[in-house]
Amino acid sequence: MSKLFLFDALREATDEEMQKDKSVFILGEDVGHYGGSYKVTKDLHIKYGDIRVLDTPIAENSFMGMAVGSAMTGLRPIVEGMNMSFLLLAFNQISNNAGMLRYTSGGNFKIPLVIRGPGGVGKQLGAEHSQRLEAYFQAIPGLKIVACSTAYNAKGLLKSAIRDNNPVIFFEHVLLYNLQDDVPEEEYFVPLDKAELVRSGSDITIVTYSRMRYHVLQASNELIKHGYNPEIIDLISLKPIDIKSIAASLKKTHHLLIVEECMKTGGIAAEIIAQINDNYFDLLDAPVVRLSSHDIPTPYNGNLEKATVVQPQQIVEAVKSLLS
C-alpha cells in the first residue's frame, strides 16, 4: 500500500492504461503542458507526446465530437472537462452520439469513451462552476455513470472505465482531489456497477455518494455516540443504480435515508425512491427520507452556498426523526 492523493490516483490509473494500450489518449482544455486544471494529467505529455495528450481549443461540442468519432474508429479517448459544467456545451454529442451510436448502428460501433472531470459545489466557485450534472445525464440511454469518492475507488474505477466498451461519465468532486487514501501497489479494478458498503449497521440504511460520503461519516460518528447503529452505502454507480445492495441492507434496517449533493427535483434520490417503491416497498417500516441540495443556482456568498448543501447536523437530525 502507498498513500496517494485522489488526483494522483487518477493520474496513476491514466498513466498505467496509456502505457499498456496505445489506443488510449487524453484530450481536453489544458490537459497537456499545463497538466490539467487539478493536475490529473501532469507531465503525461512529456511521456506520451502532444498527440496522445492533446490540448484542445475552448470548443467543447467540437472536441467531444472528435472523441466520439475516434472511439468509433478504434481509439479509447479520455475527455477531461476542465469543469464538468462546461460539458453542457457538448450535451448534444454526449446524448445523441456517444450514448446512442452503438444502438443506432446495430452494434457495428463501440464507443469506449471516458468523460471525466471536476464538478460539485466547491468553495465559492459561483453558480456556473458548481453544477451537479448527474441528474442531467441520468436519463440518457447508453451511458454508464460513476462518482468516485476515495483515492482507492478513483483509481480502480478509472481503470475499469477506460477498458469498458461503453461511454462512461466519470464524476470527480472538486473538493476531494486532495484527500489521501491507501492504494495497493499491484493492479486492481473496481466494478462500474456496484455500490460499496462503507459501514455495517442495523438501525437505518444511509445511501450517499461522492463528497456526501464524508458528511455522512461525520454524522454517523455523532449518531454512534447516541446509541444509533447506521449502515452506510456509497452508491459509486449512479447508472445503473445498484438497487439490490440497497434492498439487501433494507432487509436488515427497514429504514432508508438518502443524502446527496444533487438537487432534489429529478435527482438521484428521486430515482432510488421510485425503484424502492416499485420493487421493495414491503421492506420499509417508514417512508424514505431524502436530503438534497436546494433547487436554486448555487450562491457565490460562502454562507449562502453552505446553506444550500446538506450538512452533517441535518443528517443527524433526520436519522433521529426517522427512527423516533
The phi, psi pair for 268, rounded to 5°, reads -65, -40
Q: Is 227 helix (H, G, I), strand (E, B) or coil?
A: coil
Is 187 assigned a catalytic role? Answer: no
Grid cell, residue 140, equals 440518457
3-state SS track over 14-48: HHHHHHHCCCEEEEECCCCCCCCCCCCCCCHHHHH
Closest CA to 151 of 177, 170, 175: 177
12 contacts 4 by C-beta, under 8 angstroms:
yes
Is 60 assigned a catalytic role? Answer: yes
Of 12, 29, 60, 80, which is the active-site residue?
60
Q: How far does Cα 259 stand from its chain's mean position?
A: 14
To which H or E segment does residue 4 belong?
strand 2-5
212 contacts 242 by C-beta, under 8 angstroms:
no
Closest CA to 97 of 160, 142, 56: 142
Q: How far apart are CA 154 and CA 196, in angstroms?
A: 13
Of 17, 29, 45, 129, which is the active-site residue?
129
State the burial class of residue 302 (Cβ atoms within 10 Å of its Cβ: 0-12, 13-18, 19+).
Answer: exposed
Long-range contacts of 245-248 (CB under 8 A, 24+ apart): 245/194, 245/195, 245/197, 246/195, 246/205, 246/207, 246/272, 246/276, 246/280, 247/276, 247/279, 247/280, 247/283
List residues with catalytic annotation. Answer: 60, 129
